[in-house]
């Protein structure tokens, strides 16, 4: 027996995410989980903290040399992350 208002679970979860504005936090969790794959293991091991707030990605890097190198690549890094997450979440990258 099928109901007329039957929906797929995927659609219901997407509605729940949209209604409660959870998408940025879910994308942040996905970025943290996939960070070593996206950026590479050598850089990921020096990454201490990843935060996203209002379109800004803040990275805390423990190596001063790597921090300096990444500061020159901020725009390319934002584009890479947006491409990997398939959205326009990151507008700017702050390296600390």
- Which residue ranges make up each domain of the chain? 9-95
CB–CB of 91/79 below 8 Å? Answer: no
For residues 69 and 94, give the distance between their C-alpha atoms in angstroms, rounded to a whole number.
13
Of the pLDDT bands very low, low, confident and very high (cuts 50, 70, 90), residue 9 is confident
pTM: 0.78
State mean pLDDT over 54-62: 94
CB–CB of 45/64 below 8 Å? Answer: no
Per-residue pLDDT tens for 21-44? 788 888 889 999 999 999 999 999
pLDDT at residue 3, as a whole number: 62
Which CATH number describes the domain made up of 9-95?
3.30.300
In degrees and rounded to multiples of 5, residue 61 shows phi and psi of -110, 135
């Amino acid at each position: 027996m099928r109901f007329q208002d039957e929906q797929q679970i995927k659609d219901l979860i997407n509605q729940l995410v949209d209604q409660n504005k959870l998408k940025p936090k879910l994308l942040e969790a996905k970025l943290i989980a996939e960070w070593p794959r996206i950026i590479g293991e050598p850089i990921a091991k020096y990454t201490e903290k990843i935060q996203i707030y209002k379109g800004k990605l803040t990275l805390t890097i423990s190596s001063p040399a790597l921090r300096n190198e990444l500061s020159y690549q901020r725009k390319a890094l934002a584009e890479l992350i947006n491409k990997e997450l398939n959205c326009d979440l990151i507008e700017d990258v702050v390296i600390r």
